[in-house]
Amino acid sequence: MNDKLVYQLSKEDVLKQFNTSEKGLSSTEAQKRLELYGPNQLLEAKKRSLFMKFLDQFKDFMVIVLIAAALIAFLAAIIEGKPEELTEGLLIIAIVVINAILGVAQEAKAEQALESIKRMSNPHTTVLRDGKEIVINVDEVIVGDIVILQAGDYIPADVRILESINLKTDESALTGEPIPVEKTTDAIQKSEVPLGDRTNLAFMGTVVTYGRGLAIVTSTGMNTEIGKIASMLSSTEAESTPLQKNIAKLGKTLALIALIVVAVIFLIQVLRGTFNGGFENIHWVEIFMSSVALAVAAIPEGLPAIITIVLAIGMQNLVKQRAIMRTLPAVETLGSTSIICSDKTGTLTQNVMTITKTYLFESESSVASIAHPEGKLNDLITYGVLCNDTKVQLDENQKYVRIGDPTEIALTDLAIYTKLDPIDILKKYPRVHELPFDSERKLMTTVHIVGDQYVSITKGAPDILISKASHVDQSNGLIPMSDSIMKNFITKNQLFADEALRVLAISYKEYPLTTDIKKLLHDELENNLTLLGLVGMIDPARPEVKDAIVETKRAGITTIMITGDHKNTAIAIAKELGILESSHLAITGKELDAMSDEEFKSKLNQIRVYARVSPENKVRIVTAWKETGLIVAMTGDGVNDAPSIKKADIGIAMGITGTEVAKGAADMILTDDNFSTIVGAVKEGRTILSNIKKAIHFLLSCNIGEIITILLGVTIGIILFPLEPNLQILTAAQILWVNLVTDSFMAIALGLEPKEPDVMNRPPRDNSKSLFADGLGFRIGYQGIFIGFITFLAFYIGYEISGKNVMHAQTITFMVLSLSQLFHAFNVRSEKFSTFKLQPNKYLMIAFFGSLLLQLMTVTIPFVANNIFGVDSVLNWQVMDWVVVLGLSISPLVLVEIIKFVQSLRKQ
The answer to whether 458 and 387 have CB atoms below 8 angstroms apart is yes
The answer to whether 767 and 902 have CB atoms below 8 angstroms apart is no
* pLDDT (0 to 100) of residue 1: 43
Mean pLDDT across 98-123: 60
- Asked if 377 and 419 sit in the same domain, the reply is yes
> Which one, of 771, 693, 711, 697, lies nearest residue 258 by Cα?
711
Show the beta-strand stretches assigned E in 130-278.
132-137, 146-150, 158-170, 181-182, 201-202, 207-219
Choose the weakest-confidence range: 68-82, 633-647, 745-759.
Answer: 68-82
Domain presence at residue 683:
no
d(CA 19, CA 308): 48
- Asked if 107 and 217 sit in the same domain, the reply is yes
The answer to whether 812 and 790 have CB atoms below 8 angstroms apart is no
Residue 866 bridge partners (DSSP):
none
Q: Which of 238, 258, 290 is the last residue before a domain boundary? A: 238
Q: Which residues of 54-74 are buried (b: 16+ CB within 10 A; e: fewer)?
A: beebeebebbebbeebbebbb
The long-range contacts involving 873-876, CB below 8 angstroms and separated by at least 24 positions, are 874/811, 874/815
Q: Any idea of the CA torsion for 184, 187, 192, 194, to the nearest 10 degrees? A: 0
- Asked if 331 and 401 sit in the same domain, the reply is no
Judged against a pLDDT cut of 90, whether residue 100 lies above it is answered with no
d(CA 140, CA 810): 63
Judged against a pLDDT cut of 90, whether residue 578 lies above it is answered with yes
Q: Which of 481, 511, 538 is the last residue before a domain boundary? A: 538
Judged against a pLDDT cut of 70, whether residue 229 lies above it is answered with no
The residue type at 245? K
Judged against a pLDDT cut of 70, whether residue 186 lies above it is answered with yes
The answer to whether 129 and 109 have CB atoms below 8 angstroms apart is no
The answer to whether 171 and 199 have CB atoms below 8 angstroms apart is no
Domain presence at residue 682:
no
Choose the weakest-confidence range: 286-295, 599-608, 693-702, 703-712.
Answer: 286-295
* pLDDT (0 to 100) of residue 117: 47
The residue type at 735? I
- Asked if 546 and 596 sit in the same domain, the reply is yes
Mean pLDDT across 839-847: 94
For 167-205, give the DSSP string. EEEE-HHHH---SPEEP--SPP--SS--GGG-TTEE-TT
**Which is more confident, 183 or 739?**
183
* pLDDT (0 to 100) of residue 95: 64
**Which is more confident, 870 or 600?**
600
* pLDDT (0 to 100) of residue 260: 79
* pLDDT (0 to 100) of residue 324: 83
- Asked if 61 and 183 sit in the same domain, the reply is yes
DSSP category for residue 350: -
DSSP category for residue 421: -
d(CA 185, CA 140): 25
Q: Which residues, at least 6 apart from 229, have a Cβ–Cβ distance to it below 8 Å?
A: none
**Which is more confident, 53 or 117?**
53
The segment with the largest mean pLDDT, out of 244-248, 665-669, 797-801, is 797-801
* pLDDT (0 to 100) of residue 289: 63
Residue 233 pLDDT class (50, 70, 90 cuts):
very low
- Asked if 195 and 212 sit in the same domain, the reply is yes
Q: Give start and end residues of each alpha helix (H) in 387-419.
A: 406-417
* pLDDT (0 to 100) of residue 235: 40
* pLDDT (0 to 100) of residue 69: 62
d(CA 347, CA 342): 7
d(CA 546, CA 577): 5
The segment with the largest mean pLDDT, out of 69-83, 113-127, 818-832, is 818-832
3-state helix, strand, coil in the chain (%, to 5): 55, 20, 30
CATH of residue 555: 3.40.50.1000
437-473 per-position pLDDT tens digit: 876 788 999 999 999 999 999 999 999 999 999 999 9
Number of structural domains the chain divides into: 4
Q: Which residues, at least 6 apart from 835, have a Cβ–Cβ distance to it below 8 Å?
A: 826, 827, 829, 893, 897
Judged against a pLDDT cut of 70, whether residue 408 lies above it is answered with yes
Judged against a pLDDT cut of 60, whether residue 277 lies above it is answered with no
Domain presence at residue 684:
no
* pLDDT (0 to 100) of residue 234: 40
Domain presence at residue 678:
no
Three-state DSSP class for 780? helix
* pLDDT (0 to 100) of residue 327: 72
CATH of residue 224: 2.70.150.10
148-165 per-position pLDDT tens digit: 998 878 899 999 999 998
- Which domain covers residue 877, as residue numbers? 244-316+691-907
Choose the weakest-confidence range: 63-67, 450-454, 605-609.
Answer: 63-67
Q: Which of 538, 562, 586 is the last residue before a domain boundary? A: 538
Residue 293 pLDDT class (50, 70, 90 cuts):
low
Query: Looking at 343, 405, 413, 881, which residue is catalytic?
Result: 343
Three-state DSSP class for 755? coil
- Asked if 279 and 383 sit in the same domain, the reply is no
The answer to whether 204 and 136 have CB atoms below 8 angstroms apart is no
* pLDDT (0 to 100) of residue 770: 73
Residue 404 pLDDT class (50, 70, 90 cuts):
confident
672 is catalytic: no
Domain presence at residue 177:
yes
Mean pLDDT across 418-441: 90
Distances (CA, A) of 118 to 266, 310, 489, 652, 672: 50, 17, 50, 16, 18
Residue 772 pLDDT class (50, 70, 90 cuts):
confident
- Residue 301 — φ and ψ, nearest 5°? -65, -20
**Which is more confident, 368 or 557?**
557
- Asked if 615 and 705 sit in the same domain, the reply is no
CATH of residue 707: 1.20.1110.10
Crossing angle for the helix pair 567-577 and 483-498, nearest 10 degrees? Answer: 10
The answer to whether 289 and 73 have CB atoms below 8 angstroms apart is yes
* pLDDT (0 to 100) of residue 46: 59
* pLDDT (0 to 100) of residue 33: 92
* pLDDT (0 to 100) of residue 257: 74
Residue 239 pLDDT class (50, 70, 90 cuts):
very low
d(CA 258, CA 262): 6
Judged against a pLDDT cut of 50, whether residue 383 lies above it is answered with yes
274 class by beta-carbon count within 10 Å (0-12 exposed, 13-18 middle, 19+ buried)? middle
d(CA 88, CA 275): 27
DSSP category for residue 25: B
704-727 per-position pLDDT tens digit: 898 888 888 878 877 788 776 667
Mean pLDDT across 188-201: 83
Q: Which residues of 630-639 are buried (b: 16+ CB within 10 A; e: fewer)?
A: bbbbbbbbbb
In total, the chain counts a number of residues equal to 908
* pLDDT (0 to 100) of residue 251: 64
Distances (CA, A) of 209 to 169, 559, 603, 647: 5, 30, 34, 19
- Asked if 650 and 782 sit in the same domain, the reply is no
Domain presence at residue 686:
no
Choose the weakest-confidence range: 381-395, 423-437, 665-679.
Answer: 665-679
Domain presence at residue 681:
no
Judged against a pLDDT cut of 50, whether residue 238 lies above it is answered with no
> Which one, of 376, 347, 381, 382, lies nearest residue 361 by Cα?
376
> Which one, of 666, 153, 835, 151, lies nearest residue 444 by Cα?
151
Question: Residue 156: in which H helix or E strand, if any?
Answer: none
The long-range contacts involving 779-782, CB below 8 angstroms and separated by at least 24 positions, are 779/697, 779/701, 779/831, 780/697, 780/700, 780/701, 780/704, 781/701, 781/704
The answer to whether 295 and 62 have CB atoms below 8 angstroms apart is yes
877-891 per-position pLDDT tens digit: 889 999 999 999 999
Mean pLDDT across 203-212: 83
Mean pLDDT across 508-525: 90
- Asked if 260 and 248 sit in the same domain, the reply is yes
Residue 116 pLDDT class (50, 70, 90 cuts):
low
Q: Which residues, at least 6 apart from 691, have a Cβ–Cβ distance to it below 8 Å?
A: 310, 750, 751, 752, 753
303-317 per-position pLDDT tens digit: 666 777 777 778 778
d(CA 697, CA 694): 5
Residue 818 pLDDT class (50, 70, 90 cuts):
very high
- Asked if 530 and 381 sit in the same domain, the reply is yes
Q: Which residues of 148-176 are buried (b: 16+ CB within 10 A; e: fewer)?
A: bbbbbbbbbbbbbbbbbbbbbbbbeebbe
CATH of residue 521: 3.40.1110.10
Choose the weakest-confidence range: 17-26, 105-114, 263-272, 411-420.
Answer: 105-114
d(CA 116, CA 122): 10
d(CA 739, CA 733): 10
- Asked if 333 and 381 sit in the same domain, the reply is no
Mean pLDDT across 838-859: 93
> Which one, of 224, 127, 216, lies nearest residue 164 by Cα?
216
Percentage above 90 pLDDT, the chain: 39
d(CA 267, CA 264): 5
Judged against a pLDDT cut of 70, whether residue 280 lies above it is answered with no
Judged against a pLDDT cut of 50, whether residue 170 lies above it is answered with yes
Choose the weakest-confidence range: 6-10, 193-197, 689-693, 845-849.
Answer: 193-197
Show the beta-strand stretches assigned E in 490-629.
502-512, 529-538, 558-562, 585-588, 607-611
The answer to whether 749 and 841 have CB atoms below 8 angstroms apart is yes
The answer to whether 408 and 417 have CB atoms below 8 angstroms apart is no
Mean pLDDT across 13-22: 90
* pLDDT (0 to 100) of residue 904: 86
d(CA 830, CA 838): 8
Three-state DSSP class for 219? strand
Residue 762 pLDDT class (50, 70, 90 cuts):
confident
Rg (CA), the chain: 36
The residue type at 478? L
Mean pLDDT across 195-214: 85
* pLDDT (0 to 100) of residue 79: 61
Domain presence at residue 373:
yes
Show the beta-strand stretches assigned E in 89-142.
124-129, 132-137
* pLDDT (0 to 100) of residue 440: 76
